[in-house]
C-alpha cells in the first residue's frame, strides 16, 4: 500500500494524544475531510450517518468508541454500568453488520477485568488496537488467498484483462486497509496481472460510484462504473469473468448478507455460470446463525435516501429529488444471498465452499455457535 493510500486510511486513533479521527466517507470522492470523534454519542452518529461504514470498519470504530467510553466512565461499579450502556448503544447503531456488536462486546469484556478508570482505558485501547490490527491482517490474507482465482482466470484468458464485478464498497475504506472484496484485486494488480473492474453504482447511496471508483482510481486499477441494473446484461454477453463482493454478516451455513442488490447479482451470475465469491474476515461470520433469511436483521434506513440523490455540481455538493414530491419510498439497506448461489467464500484462512462442513474445516473452534474471539 503506497504512502498516499495510507495517508487516507479511514480511521486514525492516537491513544497517547486522546484523538480519534475518521475519514468522512459521506464527502468522498469530492472532498477528503477527517471528522474528530470525541464521545461515544459522536461515534454512534458517525456510524448511523455512514460517515464511517463497511462492516470491518464499523467494528473497529465501535471498538475505539468503547475506548472513548472508558475515558468518560468513572472507576468502580457506576463506571462499569456506563461502559455496559455505551456497549449497548454503540453495538446497536447499525443492525446488520455483526462486526460492530462483536467488536464492542470484545472491548467491554476486556475492560470489565479492571475496577479503576485508568486501567480500563488502557485495556480498552489495547483491545481496540488488537481488533484493528487483526482486521488489517485478515484483509491482507484474503488478498493472498483470493489471488490464485484471478491468476487462473488470467491464464485461461491468455493474459487478457480479467473482468471482475463488485458491488457497493468492500474496499479498504470499509476495512482500514486492503478491503475484503478488493484485496484479491489489489494483490492481482501488484502481481502485474491485467484486471478490469465493473463497479456497480450501488443505489441509493452510491458507495460503488463514490467510494470503490475512488479507491480503484487511486490504486491505478482499470475500472468502469455501471448502473446497478447493468450486471445481468454484461454477464449474458460474457463480459464478467468473476464476481467478488463483501458481506456484513455470513451465517455458519454460508448465507451472506451484503448491500441491497447483491442477491440479484448472484442470481444473474448463477444463470450465466459466472463464479460468485464472497470475501470475508472471521469477524463477519455469525456463528450463532445458520439460516440467513430468517436470522439476519436487515437494516431499513430513512426513505429520503431513496427519494434524493447527492452529488457534486462543479461548484460544491448538490442534492436533488428524483421523484414526485408526494411519492413515498422504502429503503432496505441489505439483502441475503443464499449459500446455494455462492460459488465460494474467500476467508482469511483460505477458500471454502459455503456449507457448514467446509466452513468448519477452516474455523473448527467456531463449532457449536461459540463466540469467535479473533481471526
DSSP 207-270: HIIIIIHHHHHHHT-EEEEE-GGGHHHHHHTT--SEEEE--SEEETT--EEEETTHHHHHHHHH
Q: Which residues contact 113 (CB under 8 A, 6 or more apart)?
A: 123
Report how far apart, in Å, the C-alpha atoms of 355 and of each of 275, 290, 321 are.
16, 10, 43
φ, ψ for residue 370, nearest 5 deg: -65, 150
In the complex with ligand MRU, the residue whose CB is nearer, 258 or 337, is: 258
Tell me: does residue 168 bind ligand MRU (CB under 6 A). yes
* Binds ligand MRU by CB under 6 A, chosen from 46, 55, 188, 339: 55
How many residues lie near ligand MRU (CB under 6 A)?
Answer: 18
Residue number of the CB atom closest to ligand MRU: 246
Q: Could you tell me the three cell numbers for 336? A: 441475503
Distance separating alpha carbons of residues 362 and 350, to the nearest angstrom: 7
Burial 53-78 (b: 16+ CB within 10 A, else e): bbbbbbbbbbbbbbbbbbbbbeeeee
Q: Could you tell me the three cell numbers for 271? A: 444463470
In the complex with ligand MRU, the residue whose CB is nearer, 49 or 75, is: 49
In the complex with ligand MRU, the residue whose CB is nearer, 86 or 174, is: 174
Distance separating alpha carbons of residues 189 and 212, to the nearest angstrom: 15
Footprint (CB under 6 A) of ligand MRU, residues 217-246? 246
Tell me: does residue 216 bind ligand MRU (CB under 6 A). no
State in angstroms the smallest separation of the CB of 67 from ligand MRU. Answer: 22
Footprint (CB under 6 A) of ligand MRU, residues 274-333? 333
State in angstroms the smallest separation of the CB of 370 from ligand MRU. Answer: 23
Q: Could you tell me the three cell numbers for 64? A: 475505539
State in angstroms the smallest separation of the CB of 115 from ligand MRU. Answer: 36
Tell me: does residue 54 bind ligand MRU (CB under 6 A). yes
* Binds ligand MRU by CB under 6 A, chosen from 111, 154, 206, 247: 247
Footprint (CB under 6 A) of ligand MRU, residues 58-77? none
Catalytic residues: 248
Tell me: does residue 347 bind ligand MRU (CB under 6 A). no
Is residue 285 classed as helix, strand or coil in its secondary structure?
A: strand
Distance separating alpha carbons of residues 223 and 233, to the nearest angstrom: 17
Distance separating alpha carbons of residues 202 and 210, to the nearest angstrom: 9
The answer to whether residues 265 and 276 touch, using CB atoms and an 8 Å cutoff, is: yes
Tell me: does residue 175 bind ligand MRU (CB under 6 A). yes
Tell me: does residue 53 bind ligand MRU (CB under 6 A). yes
Footprint (CB under 6 A) of ligand MRU, residues 256-275? 258-259
In the complex with ligand MRU, the residue whose CB is nearer, 168 or 296, is: 168
Write the binding mask 79 to 108 for ligand MRU: x where contact by CB under 6 A, - elsewhere.
Answer: ------------------x-----------
Tell me: does residue 174 bind ligand MRU (CB under 6 A). yes
Residues near ligand MRU (CB under 6 A) are 50, 53-56, 97, 168, 170, 174-175, 180, 207, 246-248, 258-259, 333
Amino acid at each position: 500500500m503506497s504512502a498516499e493510500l495510507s495517508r487516507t486510511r479511514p480511521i486514525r486513533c492516537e491513544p497517547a494524544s486522546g484523538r480519534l479521527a475518521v475519514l468522512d466517507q459521506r464527502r468522498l470522492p469530492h472532498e477528503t475531510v477527517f471528522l474528530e470523534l470525541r464521545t461515544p454519542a459522536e461515534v454512534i452518529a458517525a456510524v448511523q450517518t455512514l460517515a464511517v461504514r463497511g462492516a470491518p470498519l464499523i467494528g473497529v470504530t465501535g471498538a475505539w468508541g468503547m475506548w472513548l467510553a472508558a475515558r468518560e466512565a468513572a472507576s468502580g461499579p457506576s463506571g462499569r454500568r456506563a461502559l455496559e450502556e455505551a456497549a449497548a448503544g454503540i453495538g446497536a447503531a447499525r443492525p446488520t453488520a455483526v462486526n460492530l456488536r462483536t467488536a464492542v462486546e470484545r472491548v467491554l469484556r476486556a475492560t470489565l477485568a479492571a475496577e479503576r478508570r485508568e486501567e480500563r482505558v488502557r485495556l480498552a485501547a489495547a483491545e481496540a488496537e488488537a481488533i484493528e490490527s487483526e482486521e488489517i491482517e485478515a484483509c491482507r490474507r484474503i488478498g493472498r488467498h483470493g489471488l490464485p482465482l484471478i491468476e487462473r482466470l488470467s491464464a485461461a484468458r491468455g493474459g487478457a484483462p480479467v473482468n471482475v464485478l463488485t458491488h457497493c464498497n468492500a474496499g479498504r475504506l470499509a476495512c482500514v486497509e486492503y478491503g475484503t472484496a478488493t484485496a484479491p484485486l489489489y494483490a492481482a494488480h501488484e502481481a502485474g496481472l491485467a484486471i478490469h473492474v465493473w463497479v456497480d453504482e450501488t443505489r441509493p447511496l452510491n458507495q460503488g460510484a463514490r467510494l470503490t471508483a475512488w479507491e480503484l482510481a487511486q490504486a491505478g486499477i482499470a475500472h468502469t462504473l455501471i448502473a446497478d441494473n447493468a450486471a445481468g446484461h454484461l454477464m449474458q454477453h460474457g463480459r464478467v469473468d468473476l464476481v467478488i463482493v463483501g458481506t456484513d454478516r455470513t451465517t455458519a451455513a454460508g448465507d451472506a448478507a451484503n448491500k441491497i442488490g447483491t442477491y440479484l447479482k448472484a442470481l444473474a451470475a448463477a444463470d450465466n455460470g459466472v463464479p460468485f465469491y464472497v470475501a470475508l474476515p472471521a469477524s463477519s461470520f455469525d456463528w450463532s446463525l445458520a439460516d440467513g433469511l430468517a436470522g439476519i436483521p436487515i437494516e431499513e434506513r430513512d426513505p429520503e435516501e431513496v427519494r434524493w440523490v447527492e452529488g457534486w455540481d462543479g461548484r460544491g455538493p448538490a442534492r436533488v429529488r428524483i421523484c414526485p414530491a408526494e411519492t413515498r419510498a422504502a429503503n432496505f439497506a441489505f439483502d441475503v444471498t443464499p449459500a446455494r448461489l455462492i460459488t465460494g467464500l474467500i476467508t482469511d484462512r483460505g477458500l471454502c465452499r459455503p456449507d457448514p462442513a467446509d466452513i468448519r474445516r477452516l474455523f473448527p473452534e467456531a463449532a457449536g455457535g461459540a463466540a469467535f474471539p479473533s481471526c
